[in-house]
A = this chain, B = another copy of it.
Amino acid sequence: MPYKLYYWDGIPGRGEFVRLTLEAAGADYVDVARLPGGTEEMLALMKDPSAVSIPFAPPFLVDGDLLIPQVANILFYLGPRLGLAPEDEGLRFVANGLQLTITDLLAEIHDTHHPISVSLYYDEQKPEALRRSAAFLGDRLPKFLSYFERLLNRNPAGRKHAVGKELSYVDLSLFQLVQGLRYAFPNAMRVHEPHLPALIALHDAVAARPRIRSYLASDRRLDFNESCVFRRYQELDQQF
C-alpha cells in the first residue's frame, strides 16, 4: 500500500522535505492534495469526528492505520524504512536533533514575512517584517549556516553527509534549505555561500543524484512562490 502524503497543494513548503525523502528512495506514495478532490479529502480527514489521531496542521503522512503529523516526526518514521537514516540507533537521535534544528530555522524563515500573525497578509505587517528580516539576516541566519557548515566538517564519517557515512533525510533537508534560501534571500546567500563550501558541496551532490535530478525535472516538483515558507520579497533581502 502506498504512503499517503497530505499537504497543501500549490506550494513546496514544509511538505517538500517529506517529498524529497520519498523521491530519493523511489518510494511508492500518493501526494493526495494534488489529485482531483484531494484537498477536500485532506480537510475532511482533519475534521473527521470519528478519527482517533488528529493532526494540528498539514503535512501529515498516512501509513495504513497510522496518521503521523509533523515533518521531523514523519522523517524519523520513514528514514529507517526507506534506508535514509543511520543504521546506528544513537545516530538516529543525532539526525532527529539536526532535523529539529532545521525545523526551528524554517519557523524563523516563515516569520521574516509573518512576524505578527499568520491571519494577516504580508502587506499588513510589512514594517515589522522589515525589522525582523534585518535581525534574521544579520544575526540568526549566519549562526544557523555556520553551525551546519561546522557540523559537516566535524562528521567523523566525512563531510559529505550530515550524519554517518551514507545519504540521510537530513542531507536532503539541507539541500532543500539551500534551495529555499537562494530563492528567498539571493542577495544574502551570495555573501554567505563562499564561506559554506561543505554545505554547498552537499547541496550539489544531492542535486546530482539520478532520482533527485529526475524528480526536480518532473512536474511533481513545485516552484517556490509567495504562498510558501520561502518567499522572495526584494525589500526584505536587500536590507542585508
Point out residues on A near B: beta carbons under 8 Å: 51-56, 60, 65-70, 72-73, 76-77, 90, 93-94, 96-97, 100-101, 103-104, 107, 111, 115-120, 128, 131-132, 135-136, 139-140, 144, 147, 150-151, 154-156
Contact B55 A97 (CB under 8 A): yes
Among the listed B116, B118, B147, B156, which residue makes an inter-chain contact with A131, where contact means beta carbons less than 8 Å apart? B116
Contact A93 B117 (CB under 8 A): no
Q: How many copies does the complex hold?
A: 2
**Interface residues of chain A: helix, strand, loop or mixed (majority):** helix
Contact partners of A65 in chain B: CB under 8 A: 90
Q: Can you give 28 contacting A-B residue pairs, CB < 8 Å?
A: A51-B154, A52-B155, A54-B147, A54-B151, A56-B144, A56-B147, A66-B90, A66-B94, A67-B94, A68-B97, A69-B97, A70-B97, A70-B101, A72-B100, A73-B97, A73-B100, A77-B93, A107-B107, A111-B111, A115-B116, A116-B128, A116-B135, A117-B132, A117-B135, A117-B139, A117-B140, A119-B135, A128-B128
Nearest neighbor of A151 in chain B, beta-carbon distance: B54
Contact A54 B154 (CB under 8 A): yes
Distance in angstroms between the alpha carbons of A199 and B37 in the assembled complex: 35
In the complex, what's the smallest C-beta–C-beta distance from A86 to chain B, in angstroms?
12
Nearest neighbor of A125 in chain B, beta-carbon distance: B131
Residue of A56, A119, A150, A151 contacting most chain B CB atoms (<10 Å):
A56
Contact B93 A66 (CB under 8 A): yes
Among the listed B55, B94, B107, which residue makes an inter-chain contact with A53, where contact means beta carbons less than 8 Å apart? B94
Distance in angstroms between the alpha carbons of A163 and B117 in the assembled complex: 30
